[in-house]
Structure 1
Amino acid sequence: MQTIPEMTEHIKSFSLNNQGFSRVLIQLFGFLGHGKSSFINTCKYVLDDTEYKTYADVKNNDGGNTTARITYPLTDTLTLVDNRGCAIMNGYETGEIFAQLGNLLPLDQEVEWSKDLKLVDRIVAAERFVQSTDFIFPIFVYSVKKGLSFDEVPEIKELLTTARNLTGICPVVILTHKTHSNLRDVQAKFEDMDVERIFALENFTPEDHLKTRGKHEDVLKIFLEVIKDVKFRMERFPDPDGERAKRKQFVLRFIYEMELKKKEEEMEKRRRDEERQRNQARASSQSQASDQSSSGCILQ
């Protein structure tokens, strides 16, 4: 097994060898307050091997403090990308995530939850700012402390499956707060979602950044696996422009189907409302008729 210095050197020296791509953007995504920014600070601390610094803003109450898609270079080749966490995984927020994973939106800008077809407009406007030579690698961050209900599993599984189909890479799942009692339960649920790689770790924090071998190895092992997946994918799909065109088509189709589904739901809601109003009017009319009939009988 490699030592920590050997693992670190392997990661820092990794290059793409002019395979059509210039860098790897490791795109983090997930819910609000699950430790994405803390994970970035932890990775910088481990790979830079200097004093602990707060690079990505962290909110102490786990409510999520990131509102923009911000880049944090780790090496000459690997760059972490923080992201605004989702409150819920509705169509607008997942559409934003897929546009980012498709490398269709610019970096270092505020994240919007674009309604209607505004996301399409933003994708078109971003054409001249994004680089086809950026290789996107998806990492889903989830806090063990939050727990994971069975009701949430189908929603997350669909998100991860779509991210895999879009990028061609099974998203790596990072479970933060590994010492929490929920770890085994949460890990088992992600395994049931057919997630290939699940890593659990404790992030370093401003309050607790004592360097330990275990924490260092947990982080380094993640990047060693990321590098293996990147190499595997690049050997089989070496055309950045062609890959990005496919991802764009995928995301635009997703947005179109999302809008179509929304309109169908609105039409169905309108139909139910109209049906309910007709039933109420019918019931009211029958009630009035019954009252009039009763009054007539009394008068007689």
Structure 2
Amino acid sequence: MDNAELRKYILNFSLGDGPHGNQGYNRVLLQLFGYAGHGKSSFINSCKYIIDDREEFIEHAEPENIQSKGGKTMIRKAYDLTQNITIVDNRGFCTMKSFERAEMYAQLGNFIPIGEEVIWTDNYTSMMNKLEDAELNLNYPDFIVPILIYSADYPMGPQREELKKFLENCVIMTGIFPIIVISKKESGVVKNIKEEFNNMGSKVIIPIENYTKEDHDKTQGKTEEILTIIHKALEQVRSCLGERRESGRDWRQRKKFLLEYIHRADREKEEEQRKSVEAKRRAVEKKREEERKEQEKREREEEEKRKREQQSWPCSIL
């Protein structure tokens, strides 16, 4: 497809066109994830710029800054691309501790309402309260497609295993392997990052350069990249709806996964706390042992000094 055909396909996309109808879904939710400052907000602006087909470039989502903890996105914000497609800016990865990871899956599963601030919790009770609140705002009709944004400015490091696990869990929760979008393709080492994601099992990896306020002259290449990402997402939706699915069942499956994950996170936290207490205990014991040895050393030195002094005294005259 050329760009005009891609854009037409996206604008005309309907969940009810499949062989089994919409199966209880009424919109596609493109869920964006990634580390703070890697370009989720910039990607949203590029998508809106291309789909709205306006001459003026508007920053609908404020671009993130790696210096601001968690990026600038603290609230789950939704932006309609079409009547049937919505793109969501989720809070970015940060420390990736046990309960923060649970929060990421709560966003992925749509258990945190759109428009609500995402506050990292660190305990079991808070996470369970969020799930209970989610029961009051059921969102069965949303067909979730995960998209991971990763900047080519940041070579893959220790987060490799964490990212791999996140991608695998996305499949468990949504039935779809996340689309990988590598931003800033002209400034980073794209080839190595693509290879890393290939090794994690990623099938759809698309490097891009986003449109920005400073650089928004439309080009065929940039536009094609953005449209292709959305098109690939919709193809995955079509493929899934070609089989029998049911929105409420999918929602319950996501909830089951999250419940189990929260329990694991709680155990991880307990284990982390136990290790922390144990480490502190060992540190105290080590310090005491060092102090004991230092005291013994001082006592030996004092004893040796006393003996030398005794040996240096003149003999008594009888």
Output the TM-score relative to the length of structure 1.
Answer: 0.91
SS in 1 for 2:15: coil
Check if 1:239 corresponds to 2:237. no
The answer to whether the aligner puts 1:31 opposite 2:35 as a matched pair is: yes
Structure 1 residue 235: Cα displacement: 3.0
Gap runs ≥5 in structure 1: none
Q: 1:60 to 1:208 in 2, by over 3 A?
A: farther
Aligned partner (choices 186, 191, 198) of residue 193 of structure 2: 186
CA deviation after TM superposition for structure 1 residue 60, in Å = 6.7
Kindly tell me: are residues 31 and 107 of structure 1, through their superposed partners in 2, closer, same or farther at Cα, counting changes over 3 Å? Answer: same
Q: CA deviation at 1:259?
A: 1.3
Larger gyration radius, structure 1 or structure 2: 2
* Alignment CA distance shift 1:233-1:283 (3 Å): same
Give the % identical residues.
34
Counterpart residue type for residue 25 of structure 2: F
Matched, 1:55 2:60: yes
Kept in 2: contact 1:23–1:133 (CA 8 A): yes
**1:8 has 2:16 as partner:** no
1:177 lines up with 2:195 in the alignment: no
Q: How many residues align?
A: 298
Letter paired with 1:179: E
* Pair 1:98-2:110 in alignment: no
Pair 1:116–1:235, CA change in 2 (3 A): same
| Contact persistence 2:208–2:222 (CA under 8 A) | yes
Give the whole-Å Cα distance in 1 for the aligned partners of 2:279 and 2:72. Answer: 40
Secondary structure of 1:276's counterpart equals helix
Q: Which runs of 5+ in 2 are unaligned?
A: 17-21, 311-318
Match of 2:49, as an amino acid?
Y
Letter in 2 for 1:49: D
Q: Distance in 1 between matches of 2:183 and 2:213?
A: 16
Contact 1:95-1:251 within 8 A present in 2 as well: yes
- After TM superposition, the structure 1 = structure 2 runs for residues 18-167 of structure 1, keeping only pairs within 5 Å, are 18-51=22-55, 52-59=57-64, 63=68, 64-117=71-124, 118-149=126-157, 151-167=158-174
| Whole-angstrom CA distance in 1 between matches of 2:258 and 2:198 | 26
CA deviations on 1:88-125 (whole Å, 9 max, x unpaired) are 32223221110121222211111111111212211211
How many angstroms apart in 1 are the aligned matches of 2:250 and 2:212?
A: 38
Q: Does 1:259 align with 2:244?
A: no
Return the offset for 1:272.
Answer: 3.1
C-alpha displacement at 1:285, in angstroms? Answer: 3.9
- The Cα shift of 1:148 comes to 2.2
Task: Report the TM-score when normalising by structure 2.
Answer: 0.87
Letter aligned with residue 59 of structure 2:
T
Give the partner amino acid of 1:132. Answer: Y
CA contact under 8 A between 2:36 and 2:64: conserved in structure 1? no
Alpha-carbon distance change, 59 to 251 in structure 1, aligned in 2, over 3 angstroms: closer
**Equivalent residue of 2:224, what SS?**
helix
What are the Cα deviations for residues 121-151 of structure 1, in whole angstroms up to 9, with x where unaligned?
A: 11211221231111111000011122323x2
Matched-pair contact (CA < 8 Å) for 2:154–2:188? no
Cα 1:62/1:198, change in 2 over 3 Å:
farther
Please give the secondary structure, in 1, of the residue aligned with 2:33.
strand
